[in-house]
Amino acid sequence: MYAKTFALGASIVLSVAACATTTSPTGRTQYVGAVSQAQLEQMGAQAFAEAKAANPQSKDSGQTAYVGCVIRAVTAQLPAPWSGVRWEYLLFQNDEANAWALPGGKIGVYTGIFKVAKDQDELAAVIAHEIGHVVSRHHDERITRQVYAQTGLGVAGALAGSRYGDAAQQTTGQLGGALLQGAFLLPNSRAQESEADVVGQELMAKAGFDPEGAVALWRNMAAAGGGRPPQWLSTHPDPASRLRELQARAAGLTPIMQAARKQGHTPRCR
């Protein structure tokens, strides 16, 4: 009975989500539009300000300039409307090997990334991947899916409560949340990560960086990653599969890199 109730709520979610669809850079159907672009940019600016307040900035001017050089080279190759964005970045003193990009042109890089990004091509792979999430509208997509998921779960819980009582409503919420997380939200996250790989690797090649750098980067990431959860509960693709796909694309992107360099796009960040 609970499964039927949850299925009804899920069907409501999907019918509502179908009213706002778009196509991603790789041709995947996306559900977007729960918030406006202006709201997304405001959220990005707020998150960036909070990160700035919570984390110390690196005092290494050389590393900061290095990161900025790579970011400028990558963002210079973005198509409209992203080409008109003023990209702002900060290098945070943090041992975590991480970086992120937010709507509105905000980029955060942690000094720990240098443990796995050994040269400018590998750093460009990180930066381009994170920017790939922004230009692919992944933040919009994730927020929209979460809004619709919570809406559907609320509907399912209310239906269960009205028919079977408060205990059923609570159980529906607990079970439904687990189902949504495992079968609705996390698989989308894996799709987004794979898509950011595709978009980012092409973007770095257009900027004149060697697309093989993405392969080296994620090989370093996998080596440093240690234990990981089962793939069906992971928000990232399987490392071995990811490396194979990056490697397969690199050869096809090499001519793009070479053409970019002939046009004068030869990054010399370090």
Task: Report yes or no on 22 lying in a domain.
Answer: yes
Task: Report yes or no on 269 lying in a domain.
Answer: no
Task: Report yes or no on 135 lying in a domain.
Answer: yes
pLDDT lower than 50: segments of the chain = 1-19, 152-188, 229-233
Task: Please say whether the beta carbons of 161 and 173 come within 8 A.
Answer: no
Domain range spanning residue 106?
Answer: 2-262
Task: Report yes or no on 87 lying in a domain.
Answer: yes
Q: In this predicted structure, what is the pLDDT of residue 270? A: 82
Q: In this predicted structure, what is the pLDDT of residue 17? A: 43
Q: In this predicted structure, what is the pLDDT of residue 24? A: 84
Task: Report yes or no on 99 lying in a domain.
Answer: yes
Task: Please say whether the beta carbons of 169 and 153 come within 8 A.
Answer: no
> Catalytic site residue 130?
yes
What's the structural domain count of the chain?
1
Task: Please say whether the beta carbons of 176 and 11 come within 8 A.
Answer: no
Q: In this predicted structure, what is the pLDDT of residue 40? A: 86
Task: Please say whether the beta carbons of 63 and 117 come within 8 A.
Answer: no
Cα torsion angle, 268, 89, 96, 202, sign? negative
Q: How far does CA 28 lie from the centroid of its chain?
A: 15
Task: Report yes or no on 64 lying in a domain.
Answer: yes
SS3 235: coil
Catalytic residue (choose from 96, 122, 130, 141) = 130
Q: In this predicted structure, what is the pLDDT of residue 97? A: 92
Task: Report yes or no on 14 lying in a domain.
Answer: yes
Q: In this predicted structure, what is the pLDDT of residue 261? A: 97
SS3 28: coil
Task: Report yes or no on 267 lying in a domain.
Answer: no
